Chain A
Amino acid sequence: MRDFIVSRGISGAVSLFIVTLLVFAGTALLPGDAASALLGQNATPEALEAIRRNLGLDQPLIWRYLAWVGHAAQGDFGQSLASGRPVAEVLLPRLGNSLLLASVAAVLLLPFAIGGGIAAAIWQDSWFDRVLGFTSMLFLAMPAFLVGYILIYVLAVRLGWFPSMSVAPLFGGASAWAKILALPVISLVIIGQAHTMKLTRTAILAVLATDYVLMAEVKGISRRRIILRHALPNALSAILSISILTVAYLIVDVVVIEIVFSYPGLGKLMVDSVAYRDLTVVQACGLLFALIFIGMNFLADLLALLVNPRQRVPARGA
């Protein structure tokens, strides 16, 4: 088990290392460095030179990479090229907002989607299963912003229940936040549930197709008992992984949804910074998203392992 965790950890770390290389190489190797991005096309050579020295761009590449990684590891992502403020200072409140949005969505989505997936698997091929199958096909084909705008049109414009934009009420208290979070959260739940439900259904069906479930059926055990005592415990590790991955995907869906609702989160910050070519902020956001995503995947593997003892000795035994 320890070997497995270590090997997964190493593979995650290698991915992260390559990602830092790619993110860094992206900004370092391509024509038009940060200095010219900062000053625009009319900059004088002297001004460019000064800025380059200021940003450390005259140092050797490897040195700059190490310095960048070293600082980033300590939470120092340098200064925003657009505003001059430290990137971490810009980033942190946005990160908090995004995590709030994603976690509220996850708390609402997971029980609903996993319950739906289990029900669909138990009543396979029933009308319930078919309706769920059809709607998830529909939602999976929709671009995320379509869901968001339909909600805005119906719930905000026609019915007037919610504001259509997340105008930040920084100190507005819980009810103001709830109003602002409502539509983005509902969008995220609708977008995310289809995938989660489908994966859960497949995982349960895989367990229901095993020999021991057949055996239990032959012994005449009630359907209810088979599902609760035999199938679910064995599907638990899969369901846990699916839950964690759902959260990871939610954090990505957040990018588009934040733009739809002008929600002041990390995704909106990143997209806005791309528009301003504020490369240090883009880099930091990219790295943060990658870190969260890789971390979530690692956590999913780890939890699956803890819940399912058979996976702890993958090489031996079989």
Chain B
Amino acid sequence: MRNLGFLLSLAAFAVLILAALLAPLIAPYLPSEPVHAPYAAPGDGGLLGADSLGRDMFSRILYGLRYTLGISLTVAVLAACAGVSLAFLAAFRRGWTDILLGRLVDAIMSVPQIIFALVVLAVAGVSLTTLILTMAVLEATLFYRVIRPVAADIVAMDYVEVARLRGEGLGWYLRREILPNAAPTLIAEFGIRIAYAVLFISGLSFLGVGVQPPAADLGGLVRENALAISVGQLSPLAPAACIALITLSVNGIVDWFIHKYSIRAELG
């Protein structure tokens, strides 16, 4: 059952990634061109109909996928780098570094992420850079929270002590001793954060503070076409369902990974 879920998730995720990468080849029309009648129904105008300007919905979703996945992956990678290195720094240094970082992370996490992002983006203005940086900082605090205890455990391990006694530098045992041991937790957390980032950027774009028009990610597409729903069109649900598909497939993969890893841990 879990394996079936995993295979389905993997297949779905692979298809989504391929669709994003190959968007220019697959998309029947350019995302910015009005090629159909406004609000054309599916069938009359392309696979999924057209938006209020007559742009092809299917093509726009393919290109939107690139934004959503691209931003989410970038955010997750940046957040992982920042969160993990700060967590290990805190575990090594202890003392003030640890306390200050801990307090700052607590404070940032004590405010709902979307509220925090709204305040920052209102001030800094919305651009792709501010968007990615804001999200990365917020996500980094979650990495920090999860990795900090793991880091403390690992730093206290005998083999790290041995490496320290051997006189190895900090960078060496981060790379050779610690990261390999923290890897499973890290990978699982990375997956969870990607899924979260997808929902986050979609939410922000839906609220109008994410990817700005004329470009649109999946959340932005829902926003643009929201009015069509009230006249009985289903087209805004397609990009929204696409978002759910991404998070479902990533969660399916992570679930399998966590399960597999804990079984191995029990056997070993």
| Residues in chain A within 8 A of chain B (CB atoms) | 11-12, 14-19, 22-23, 26-27, 30, 32, 137-138, 140-146, 149-150, 152-153, 156-158, 164-165, 252, 255-256, 259-260, 270-271, 273-275, 277, 279, 282-283, 285-286, 289-290, 293-294, 297
**Chain B residues with CB below 8 A from A293, complex form:** 110-112, 115
Q: Which 6 A-B pairs have the closest CB atoms?
A: A18-B107, A146-B240, A286-B119, A141-B247, A15-B110, A274-B122
**Whole-angstrom distance between the alpha carbons of A255 and B124 in the complex?**
20
Q: Do A286 and B107 have beta carbons less than 8 Å apart?
A: no
**Whole-angstrom distance between the alpha carbons of A285 and B116 in the complex?**
10
B107 CB contact (under 8 Å) in A19, A270, A285: A19
Q: Do B199 and A282 have beta carbons less than 8 Å apart?
A: no
| Proximity bits, B227-258, A CB within 8 Å = 1, else 0 | 00111101011001101100110010000000
Residue in A16, A146, A252, A270 with the greatest tally of chain B CB atoms within 10 Å: A146
Q: Which of B30-38, B39-47, B162-170, B204-212 contacts A (4 or more CB under 8 A)?
A: B204-212
| B103 in the interface (beta carbon within 8 A) | yes
**Whole-angstrom distance between the alpha carbons of A252 and B115 in the complex?**
8
Q: Do B110 and A141 have beta carbons less than 8 Å apart?
A: no
B118 CB contact (under 8 Å) in A27, A150, A271: A271
Q: Do B208 and A271 have beta carbons less than 8 Å apart?
A: yes
| Residues in chain B within 8 A of chain A (CB atoms) | 103-104, 106-108, 110-112, 114-116, 118-125, 195, 199, 202-203, 206-209, 219, 222, 226, 229-232, 234, 236-237, 240-241, 243-244, 247-248, 251
Q: What DSSP secondary structure best describes chain A's contact surface?
A: helix
**Chain A residues with CB below 8 A from B237, complex form:** 146, 149-150, 153
**Chain B residues with CB below 8 A from A252, complex form:** 112, 114-115
**Chain B residues with CB below 8 A from A164, complex form:** 229-230
Q: What DSSP secondary structure best describes chain B's contact surface?
A: helix
Given A26-B123, A142-B244, A152-B230, is A290 in contact with B111 using a C-beta cutoff of 8 Å?
yes
Q: Can you show 22 pairs from A to B with CB atoms below 8 A apart?
A: A15-B106, A26-B120, A26-B124, A140-B251, A141-B251, A143-B206, A145-B222, A153-B229, A252-B115, A255-B114, A255-B115, A255-B118, A255-B207, A274-B121, A274-B208, A274-B209, A275-B209, A282-B123, A283-B119, A286-B119, A293-B112, A297-B110
**Chain B residues with CB below 8 A from A26, complex form:** 119-120, 123-124
**Chain A residues with CB below 8 A from B243, complex form:** 142-143, 146
Q: Do B230 and A277 have beta carbons less than 8 Å apart?
A: no
**Chain A residues with CB below 8 A from B125, complex form:** 32
Q: Do B209 and A289 have beta carbons less than 8 Å apart?
A: no
**Whole-angstrom distance between the alpha carbons of A23 and B247 in the complex?**
31
Q: Which B-chain residue is minimally distant from A259 (CB atoms)?
A: B207
B248 CB contact (under 8 Å) in A18, A30, A138, A156: A138
Q: Do A143 and B240 have beta carbons less than 8 Å apart?
A: yes
**Whole-angstrom distance between the alpha carbons of A32 and B251 in the complex?**
41
Q: Do B104 and A18 have beta carbons less than 8 Å apart?
A: yes
Q: Do A149 and B248 have beta carbons less than 8 Å apart?
A: no
Q: Do B114 and A11 have beta carbons less than 8 Å apart?
A: no
**Whole-angstrom distance between the alpha carbons of A145 and B119 in the complex?**
21
**Whole-angstrom distance between the alpha carbons of A285 and B229 in the complex?**
30
Q: Which B-chain residue is minimally distant from A255 (CB atoms)?
A: B114
Q: Do B207 and A141 have beta carbons less than 8 Å apart?
A: no
Given A15-B106, A279-B122, A286-B119, is A146 in contact with B241 using a C-beta cutoff of 8 Å?
yes
